Amino acid sequence: MKDLQLLQTTSSGLKGNRGRYNLDSPPPAAHISYKQEMVGQQFGWVKIISPEKRWSKSWNRCYVLTKCRGCGSIQWQDLGNLRRGQSKGCQSCSRPRKIPLWLDRRLTAAKQRCENPHDREYPNYGARGIKFEFPSVTAAGLYLVEMFGLPPRSMELDRIDTNGNYTKGNLRFVPRVVNQANRRNTVLSEFHQEYWPYCREVVTKKLSQGMTRSEIIQDAEKAVSEKRRNWHIISARLDFMTYEMPESITVLPYREN
């Protein structure tokens, strides 16, 4: 039980007493028994994670510790209600969904990127001022389904303006290849070695760091004069490079704010 105390408990599963029982304050018990073989049994959205059974004074209620497979919350549940199917364990996850689970999860992730400073993608979204402007994840999902219908799961959610918010008019469903091309670090529309002194990966990295094509060429010339790593290859590329690049090739240096 010591390890379980590190987990979050959100509700007791007892109607009208949400949040009453937790790992530090379990349901009162006149008798406690242990049944190891019930650990891992699943009922609806939850599975039993502890062998402990807490019996009420009248022995008509038995509570067990469960974990929701959907949201991960730890709850004390009435074992009788679970077995009879009167409870699916987690009220939040067992509710009928208005939007598909996969769409709910993608929109939840988008909301987290914009609003949760602890999310690893927050620096690229919320910290840059990008907002999730819908009142809820469900509201965003209903808007998208109404506007575009329900697309195949393989389609991805994309912001038309990559610097814009998650808001009406700036969202669409696109194939993954289009979504990848619309990222703000996609700074080169097409790559041909004859126009560059470095390989594609290095060119893209330097453009993403804010360097222009002229600055990249100057950096390559400096690399040759300082005899940096692979300077012989860089020198050869400079010698045979075509300096006039077609206007059809888009080059967008990005500078971090």
For 212, the token pair is: 């222009």
Per DSSP bridges, beta strands 171-174 and 156-159 are antiparallel
Q: Is the pLDDT of residue 8 over 50?
A: no
- 70 vs 223, which has greater pLDDT? 223
Amino acid residing at 184? R
Alpha-carbon gap, residue 197 to 94, rounded angstroms: 58
Hey, how many other C-beta atoms are within 10 angstroms of the C-beta on 223?
A: 18
Structure-token pair, residue 148: 């575009």
The string of pLDDT tens digits covering residues 152-205 is 888 888 888 878 899 999 888 876 555 454 455 445 667 889 999 999 888 877
CA distance 19 to 17: 6
Of 246, 257, 243, the closest CA to residue 130 belongs to 257
What token pair was written down for 214?
């002229």
Give me the residue label for tokens 């790559």.
191
Give CA–CA dist 5/154, Å, rounded: 39
pLDDT for residue 20 is more than 70: no
- Quick check: helix, strand or coil at residue 47? strand
